[in-house]
């Protein structure tokens, strides 16, 4: 059995658009961390999902991190997707829902971490809902 000697947790994510059954490319993702439930959040930086929906270059949380937050800016992705779909279906009936193209304009996922562990946190997304889990 291998024992990790890292003093920090590591985080990765990917986003799948379940409304079309494909990876969601171009979603901005920001990572923040804190060293306890009452500590302030420290913004660490971010990235964007690639063509496979993966965010491969998120910053590593600092030593002493106990909680991580991933913020996904999903509204621009769905606005762009809605425009592409509308252009492709010019003769289709008008959308009967007069609401916004996306119900959740951003998704914030907060989770607890342990030093030395890796956390892969996929986001399954559609315009009116999402789910998340700890992957491998």
Indicate whether 93 belongs to any domain.
Answer: no
The structural domain count of the chain equals: 1
The answer to whether residue 80 is domain-embedded is yes
What is the structure's pLDDT at 1? 46
What pLDDT does residue 80 have?
Answer: 85
pLDDT at position 84, please? 56
pTM tops 0.85: no
- Residue 100's pLDDT is 63
Residues 113 and 14: their CA atoms lie apart, in Å, by 18
State the pLDDT at residue 87.
Answer: 47
Is 71 inside any structural domain?
yes
- Which residue bears the tokens 């106990």? 66
Q: Domain for residue 43, yes or no?
A: yes
* Residue 24 maps to a domain: yes
Q: Domain range for residue 64?
A: 10-87+99-132
Dist. CA 69–CA 67, nearest whole Å: 7
Query: What is the SS3 string spanning 46-89?
Result: EEECCCCCEECCCCCCCCCCCEEEEEEECHHHHHHHHHHHHHHC
Q: Is residue 109 part of a domain?
A: yes
pLDDT below 70 — which residues of the chain? 1-6, 82-101
Q: Is residue 70 part of a domain?
A: yes
Q: For the domain that residue 127 is a member of, what is the CATH number? A: 2.60.40.180
Assigned domain for 115 exists: yes
């Amino acid at each position: 059995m291998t024992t990790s000697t890292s003093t920090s947790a590591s985080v990765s994510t990917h986003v799948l658009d379940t409304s079309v059954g494909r990876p969601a490319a171009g979603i901005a993702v920001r990572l923040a961390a804190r060293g306890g439930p009452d500590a302030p959040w420290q913004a660490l930086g971010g990235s964007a999902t690639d063509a496979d929906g993966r965010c491969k270059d998120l910053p590593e949380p600092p030593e002493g991190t106990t909680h991580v937050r991933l913020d996904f800016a999903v509204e621009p992705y769905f606005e762009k997707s809605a425009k592409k779909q509308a252009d492709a279906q010019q003769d289709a009936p008008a959308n009967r829902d007069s609401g916004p193209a996306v119900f959740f304009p951003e998704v914030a996922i907060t989770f607890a971490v342990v030093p030395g562990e890796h956390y892969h946190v996929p986001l399954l997304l559609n315009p009116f809902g999402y789910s998340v889990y700890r992957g491998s």
